[in-house]
Every structure is written in C-alpha cells, then in structure tokens.
Structure 1
Amino acid sequence: MTGKVLVAYGTTNGSTARIAEAIADVLGKEGFTSEALPAGSVARVTPYDAVVIGGGLYAGRWHKDARRFVRRHGHDLAARPVWLFSSGPLDASASERDIPPVPGVRKAMSRVDAKGHVTFGGCLEEGAKGWVARMIVRNGKGGDFRDFAQIEEWARRIAEELVAGEKG
C-alpha cells in the first residue's frame, strides 16, 4: 500500500504536534503519502486511506481538538484503519510500561474501531501556555519525556499493518 495517511493532532504547547510530525515522517519514509495536521484544521478525512489521531492528555482528558475530531468525523473514520495515541506523562513511565488509554480515549477507540493506541511521554517546558502548566514547570515537574525511538517504532508497526492489510 502506498496510500495517503493523515496524522491529526490536538496540542496546546506543541509537544503532541512534534510527535505527530515524527509519525508522519516515518510513514513517508515507508512509502506512504503522509501529513501531520492540527485536528481542528481538517475538513474531511475521506481523501485519506488511513488516519492516526493524537492528543495531549490534560488532567486525564484527551485534548479537546482530538475529541472533537473523532466526533465530527466518526462515521468516515470507522470506514478506514485508525490508530490513536496520547501524550502526557511527565515522567519516564510511558517508556517503561504500557499505559492504557484514559476512559475518553477508550470511548473514541470504540467509536471508530481503532486498531490500536499507545501513550507516549509528554513534554512541558519553560514558556508553556496555561496557569497550571506554568505551575508544573515552576515546581520542577516539567521536562521532555518523549521517546522518539519508541514513537518511530510504533509508526513503523503502523506501516507494516497497512502493508499487510493491503496484501490480506
């Protein structure tokens, strides 16, 4: 399969956008036409053969733009392969073990019959938007916990599944 893959994301401070871009880069190297776009800017998913949706986690909830994207495009998403990812833990836990999706993401997975989900570590650094985010950074709890080797490996597995699905 050399189809088109959309990587849509919801982010506040840009950390999830960078993860989405890394996923799109890997899919491109694997022979797919891929693009990472803010979830709120996507008018239609029908031009795409597969979709990856990501959202930052804030207080146990997936980013509002990712949630809205699934609601708005749910019918069309259910007709193509879909994977979801979350980003958020501000520690090494996401690299050390599988973190299950939060309840809202589980609901989204069910709605679109997602093929999989993964939680990646988050990133919150100086200059973050929002009072709570600034307090977290000020209290020394921020940092960059994204594991790009893990992210790239997950994207390669998506590419393998898409190719296998095309042959199957």
Structure 2
Amino acid sequence: MSNNVLVAYATKNGSTAEIAEAVAAVLRKDGLTAEALPARSVTDVGPYDAVVVGGGLYAGRWHKDARRFVRRQRRALTERPVWFFSSGPLDASASERDIPPVPGARRAMDKLRVTEHVTFGGRLEEGAEGRIARMIVQSGKGGDFRDFAAIESWAAGVAKALGDQRVQ
C-alpha cells in the first residue's frame, strides 16, 4: 500500500525544485499524501511508502545531492517503489524524444530496481549561479525548456501506478 510519497530533489538554480513541487501537487490531487523536499535535507525515508527522486543535470552528471541521497538511503529505497527524473537539457530535445539517464542515475537505477526514469527539459535564466551557467545564459543559450504538461502527465502515471498497488 503506497499512500505517503516523498519527492526528493537536487537542484542548483531552482528549476528541479519547481518540477518536484509540480509532481507532488499532482500526486496530492490524485489522493496521495506527498511532499517535495531537498534531497540533502532528508535523513530518513522510513515514513514514506514510495519515493520519487529528481536531479538536475550538470555537465552530463546527475546533481551530487541526488547521487548522495540515493547512496545514503539505498537500503530503504530497495524496499519501496522508486521513480527517478532528471532535468536539464537546454533545448526542446526532452520534449521530442526519450533521453536516457546519465551514467550516475543509470547505476543507481540498476541497484534499486527503479520503476521508471524520465528526463525533462531544464531552465537556465538570468541570475543563475555558477560561472558556466552565467556563460550559457550570456551566450543566448539559456531559457526555460520545461514542459509542465508532460511533467504533470508523468506524475499522473506515477499516481496511477501507486493507486494500482493500493488496490492489490
């Protein structure tokens, strides 16, 4: 029975946090108890029946806080349903095709038997932290490439899968 869901996220500039909040909102709308929390602040997943982990992509790597969270909570995560999402491509590619998980996320998925992974577009706008991020924005390659309709549709699929488990 999966009713209480954690959406743990790792973000640098807030884009992944906003995606996590949207996922949690859909789960709540579909009758689940869900909260979105920064992955680095979660010390125990015991109270949760299921977990969604989201990490921003930086230079082809999943955010270090997402990787650390999965490592710290590995044993508990193997005992409950888990979904992963990544956010980051600064173009329309995530809306046009399935983008596989980066190697760090893939390794964690294999160890945890993650139910599903999806990659969403990212956002990088004026005021972004980090020298490289600022260079990307200044070069005109930043923007907001998140597709909230796709995010909400994916989250509804997670809610449905958890609802189906509650029925069994």
TM-score band by shorter chain is over 0.9
> Given the two structures, how large is their TM-score scaled by the length of structure 2?
0.98
Structure 1 position 45, deviation (Å) = 0.2
C-alpha distance in 2 between matches for 1:15 and 1:111: 27
C-alpha distance in 1 between matches for 2:61 and 2:150: 22
> Given the two structures, how large is their TM-score scaled by the length of structure 1?
0.98
C-alpha distance in 2 between matches for 1:167 and 1:30: 14
The aligned counterpart of 1:43 is 43
Deviations 1:17-69 (A, max 9, x none): 00000000000000011000000000100100000000000000000000000
Give identity over the alignment, percent: 69
Structure 1 position 110, deviation (Å) = 1.1
CA contact (8 A) 2:50 2:81 kept: yes
The aligned counterpart of 2:107 is 107
Q: SS at 2:105's partner residue? A: helix
The aligned counterpart of 2:154 is 154
CA contact (8 A) 2:3 2:162 kept: no
Q: Which amino acid aligns with 2:40?
A: G
The aligned counterpart of 1:87 is 87
Gaps of 5+ in 2: none
The aligned counterpart of 2:142 is 142
CA contact (8 A) 1:3 1:32 kept: yes
Tell me: higher relative CO, structure 1 or 2? Use CA pairs within 8 A at least 6 residues apart. Answer: 2
Deviations 1:57-113 (A, max 9, x none): 000000000000000000000100000000000000101111011111110111211
Q: SS at 1:21's partner residue? A: helix
Q: SS at 1:137's partner residue? A: helix
Matched positions, count: 168
CA contact (8 A) 1:2 1:31 kept: no
C-alpha distance in 1 between matches for 2:33 and 2:167: 18
C-alpha distance in 2 between matches for 1:2 and 1:69: 21
Q: Which amino acid aligns with 1:62?
A: W
Q: Any runs of at least 4 consecutive aligned residues in structure 1 with deviations exceeding 4 A, and if so which?
A: none
CA contact (8 A) 2:2 2:50 kept: no
Structure 1 position 163, deviation (Å) = 1.1
CA contact (8 A) 1:2 1:33 kept: no
Structure 1 position 2, deviation (Å) = 6.4
Gaps of 5+ in 1: none
The root-mean-square deviation of aligned C-alpha atoms, in Å, is 0.8
